[in-house]
DNA sequence: CGCTAGATTGATGGAGATCAAATCTTGTGG
DNA sequence: CCACAAGATTTGATCTCCATCAATCTAGCG
């Protein structure tokens, strides 16, 4: 998602580019251990607590010292893998999928640059879901035991981790509300507005963006079938709320969408 | 729930009672500052990490030094209240309810003795939902800032809080799966088996228990109407999977229920 | 011991699932 | 760089599960 949006940002501001590129694309796919630096990362406002000192950033950079590239369709981790690390997305996007014994599958979330993956693995010491890349992506690897050690004497970081986990609980609560009480139309509207808000928070257009997930994945996230998702997109188009052309979406009337 | 179950346990084992009473019922409703002691609490296996030393328990007892009684139907806290503390249930049970601007209401969970409330308040510094007592209940008050301080130099406790929060994320994931993919029949079966498992973990009967919530509250938790909940109870009764008489439920065939 | 909130059961309708078919993307290999 | 196959999307027709409306019935509580 941010790859498309970043090139778009470059077109909007031809010179000099005002938007800091989200990440340095590894030169080769084999690059696994370049040196990420939280202190200079464009996403630090999203994944780090505010107001860290130079010294504190240095300690973090010592822990978060490797990245990993994942090809579209590949898994960053799978359910039941041993839990070692959490991950923040530098570039790209993911879906997290839980699979019931009987084969029922459900997408529990879509994550984009700046979001964190793997917090659900802490409880059992093993991953609880599959994390699948929706496009070629890069993540920072954060070994959790080392992070815990850092948190023990870095109060802002300690509090930040609690906040991140708590935010995830809140996000899931509102997703339960969506799944438990909303009509298909309201769910799709809510989904588009949520994505829009998150892109905006990352400096991208809130009005137009590329969906990296299929209608089926959206449906699986929203608790409905892909045909229903498609019908809702068409309905919004007829009502001039949204212009959708395949995976490109432009929100024409955000207030109208919110009133649905 | 545990009040009923505890008196039941007393009947089952007339003398000497083998089941440790879950809590000391406060003598008067006004009792707000008796001295809870984690070290001797029957629920410590559920709310505390294993293997703490006497010294470590003493430090916790210094932080968790007050309780609060909440009458049936009253709120422990409401959405938008300032977040100060988290709570563990000593006795009784609660529901947590999120309310959308437009009035849509959804029950995000039912909590019983040993469960923790309020973790979702950390992220925004204010409560995210209403916590309503389903019966007269007692909670331990854990001031969060003090807990954070303790966690900074008590590694097992630090890890335990991360685990608790992560467990909540996992619990909500599986509730999303339920809401997103299961039929009404499967949701009710899943709900009963989950309650059964939790009662069992607390030393109560897994087969027979009292529901403290109404059919409407169950429906609101499972994303269906109260009539549908009632019909599913009747259906299970016809199929000899469950015997339900109002709020008393006896699971007759747990395997059958799991196969639904 | 009577009242009222909660629970059950039946009849009917509608939102969304399912099945089907045509059209459109996309990415992969030549 | 282009063609083509596999997958994704759209749209229509029909069916089903659950919501809704309605009428008792029950039990817990003051």
Task: Specify the nucleotide whose C1' lies closest to residue B246 (CA).
Answer: C7
Cβ-count burial of B162 within 10 angstroms (0-12 exposed, 13-18 middle, 19+ buried)?
buried
At residue A186's C-alpha, the angle toward residues A182 and A190, to 5°, is 110
Interface test with B, best of A85, A99, A170, A260 (most B CBs within 10 A): A170
For residue B51, the 8-state DSSP code is: S
Residue B184 CA to D18 C1' — how many Å?
Answer: 8
What are the structural domain ranges in chain B?
2-179, 182-259
Fold (topology level) of A184-259: Arc Repressor Mutant, subunit A (1.10.10)
Q: Which CATH number fits domain B182-259: 3.40.190.150, 3.40.50.1370, 1.10.10.10, 1.10.3720.10?
A: 1.10.10.10
Stretch among A77-81, B15-19, B42-46, B198-202 having the lowest mean pLDDT: B15-19
- Within 10 A of B32 (CB to CB), how many other CB atoms are there? 12
Alpha-carbon distance of A159 to A138, in angstroms, equals 26
pLDDT at residue A113 above 70? yes
Stretch among A40-49, A82-91, A159-168 having the lowest mean pLDDT: A40-49
**Banded model confidence at residue A228, pLDDT cuts 50, 70, 90:** very high
Quote the mean pLDDT of chain A. 86
Tell me the per-residue pLDDT of B22-32, one tens digit each, with 9 for 90 and over. 444 444 443 44
Residue B166 has its nearest CB partner, among A106, A120, A179, at: A120
Q: Which of A155, A153, A117 is nearest to A137 (CA)?
A: A117
Cβ contact, residue pair B105, A181, below 8 Å: yes
A247 touches strand C (CB under 7 A): yes
- Using the Cβ of A175 and the Cβ atoms of chain B, whether some distance falls under 8 Å is answered with yes
At residue B20, the pLDDT reads 38
Alpha-carbon distance of B183 to B16, in angstroms, equals 46
Q: Which of A195, A242, A246, A200 is nearest to A222 (CA)?
A: A195
Alpha-carbon distance of A140 to B126, in angstroms, equals 30
Homologous superfamily (CATH) of B2-179 is: Jelly Rolls (2.60.120.10)
- Using the Cβ of B175 and the Cβ atoms of chain A, whether some distance falls under 8 Å is answered with yes
pLDDT, average across residues B152-180: 96
Query: Which percentage of chain B shows pLDDT scores above 70?
Result: 87
Alpha-carbon distance of A92 to A72, in angstroms, equals 9
pLDDT, average across residues B61-71: 89
B247 touches strand C (CB under 7 A): yes
Stretch among A72-81, B32-41, B224-233 having the lowest mean pLDDT: B32-41
Tell me the per-residue pLDDT of A124-182, one tens digit each, with 9 for 90 and over. 999 999 999 999 999 999 999 999 999 998 999 999 999 999 999 999 999 999 999 99
């Amino acid at each position: 998602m941010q790859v498309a949006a970043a090139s778009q940002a470059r077109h909007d501001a031809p010179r000099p580019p005002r938007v800091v590129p989200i990440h340095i694309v590894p030169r080769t796919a084999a690059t696994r251990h370049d040196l990420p630096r939280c202190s200079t990362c464009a996403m630090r406002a999203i994944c780090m607590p505010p107001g860290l000192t130079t010294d504190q950033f240095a300690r973090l950079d010592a822990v978060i010292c490797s990245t990993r590239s994942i090809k579209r369709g590949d898994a960053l981790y799978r359910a039941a893998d041993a839990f070692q690390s959490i991950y923040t997305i530098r570039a790209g996007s993911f879906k997290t999928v839980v699979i019931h014994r009987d084969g029922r599958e459900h997408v529990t979330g879509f994550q984009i640059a700046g979001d964190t993956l793997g917090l659900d693995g802490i409880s059992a010491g093993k991953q609880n879901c599959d994390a699948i890349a929706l496009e070629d992506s890069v993540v920072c690897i954060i070994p959790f035991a080392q992070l815990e050690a850092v948190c023990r004497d870095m109060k802002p970081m300690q509090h930040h981790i609690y906040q991140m986990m708590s935010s995830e609980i809140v996000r899931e609560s509102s997703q339960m509300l969506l799944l438990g009480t909303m009509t298909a139309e309201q769910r799709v509207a809510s989904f588009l507005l949520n994505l829009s808000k998150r892109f905006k928070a990352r400096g991208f257009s809130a009005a137009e963006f590329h969906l990296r997930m299929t209608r089926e994945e959206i449906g699986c996230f929203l608790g409905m079938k892909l045909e229903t998702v498609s019908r809702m997109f068409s309905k919004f188009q007829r009502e001039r709320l949204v212009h959708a052309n395949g995976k490109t979406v432009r929100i024409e009337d955000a207030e109208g969408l919110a009133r649905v």
